[in-house]
Structure 1
Amino acid sequence: MSFEVQDLYDVIKIVTLLILSKTPRIEIGKLRGRIEELCEHRICVELGDLNRALSELANEGLITVKGEYIELTSVGLKVSGDWKSLLLKSEPILEVVAGLTDGSITGLMVILSSFFAGLSSKLTVFAALLTLASVAITNFSSFFLGGVTEDISEIISVKRLMDYSLSDNPDKGQRLKAIELLKQVFTLLNREIQKSNIMSAVVCAFTTLFAGFTPIAVYLMLPTPYNLLGSIVLIGSIVILLLARYRSKMTKIPLKITLLETLIIILIATFASILLGINL
């Protein structure tokens, strides 16, 4: 399937893949109804246009047609997921990475401060609650407001490129129908993106709390000096097993490289925080 959107059939194919990303198997008649419902019945998707688009998807190996039903192939499942990720920003990669990083560093700072200052358990818990809550709330608000702004801005750019590509279609009727369908699709995408960003912000906040409170809990439960050693080992495990592996998986970069990058960033941030604390 070409990435460039050139005609009505390409738009129908994209909409079909987005619908199938949620329901890998669907009846053709129901699919047509979903598309028209998506457009609030402002345009009528002709059965011939739909069948041609489905035929192209089948020829490209993205779907299989079984009687009145269509179903995604393994390749189609990946492509539909890619379109969903591109248009809906549904993969909270940055949120998880930021949450694990901020939570780990904040937790480490609380633990080191408590250990060297000789704080009691109550004061350590108070410091942890105050610090991690402020970081989590900041992450939530930043990712929600910033995420919505960034994602919608990117979606507008994608829509402009698609509109420009469709404008070359010599068939005026098909061109207008394709542009109208695309307009309705992106109207829906704007609403979905706002919902997705709320979830992403929540994911980031909870990931921050998890990465921060877990080593602090270990620090409070174990006796000295095993508490410091155990909590640092746990933070290292979070960084290595969760953060570095997650980055490696999502970016398709070897684990050794992502691990080295992650450790360098964590160490720089940690030492910077310690130096600031000493100077203050």
Structure 2
Amino acid sequence: MADSILLPVNGGDGSAAAEYAIAVARATGATVRVLAVADPSALERVPADETASLRARADERSRAALESTAGTVDAAGIDVVRDHREGVPHQEITTVADDSEIDLLVIEADGRTAERVLALSDVPVLVVPPDARGWLDAESVGPSRIVIPTDGSDAAARAADCALELATNARGAVDVISVIDETNPALADAPPHLIELCREGGHDAIEPIAVAARDRGLPVTTDVIRGVPHEEIVSYAAAVGADLIAMGARGLAIGDEPLLGGTTAHVLARTDRPVLAVR
């Protein structure tokens, strides 16, 4: 899945994301590029005579964070590349991901930066909550159980491809689910035959992924659920003890502001599982 992993140091201590980047790199033999971005935008309202000293301090802090995280990766026996930039964090992160032929971006779920990266990045993004409940332990080489929600979209199919490769490396199991969205006004008073058509559509979306998983020799569970999509995905992952949720994402924009659309944003806000999001 990954020959090159980008690990941004984006404001928090980044320790949770670093642990997962190391775990994936260990399983795949990937190199980890650690990126720190000094953000000058915080200095826009600072008096001119104070700007230089504050910029120097910000640069020093970001370089210290870079060295700390890179040292952690290096100590784990993983090949590491250090990268330091100045600019708007989400823009620098996505630029480096594109220019450096990154295969996977691993970022801590810190709020706006992670969401903007997800909305813009063409690279698969593994978003790690600070208190992530995942697959990290001494015995594991990857997630033992992955939940793959699908709506039949191309993005969901791409996320499934990434998830199946991870599951194959880890000899894990997958749950492929589809959710009939009860918030859809068209289904408010829908007759049973229409709900059944929706259920059949869910199974049709699930089947290609389930077949691909079985072809890899992976244990597969499938289900079509009715409810609010993000709520059902989060609760299902918790109920089965999933190590990872892998799902398609779509980028939106309001003016120049990149946003993450729909279900993925709601899942990220509510789950304590790592989420692999693919546009």
- With the shorter chain as reference, the TM-score category is under 0.3
- Which structure has the highest strand share of the two? 2
Q: TM-score, normalised by structure 1?
A: 0.22
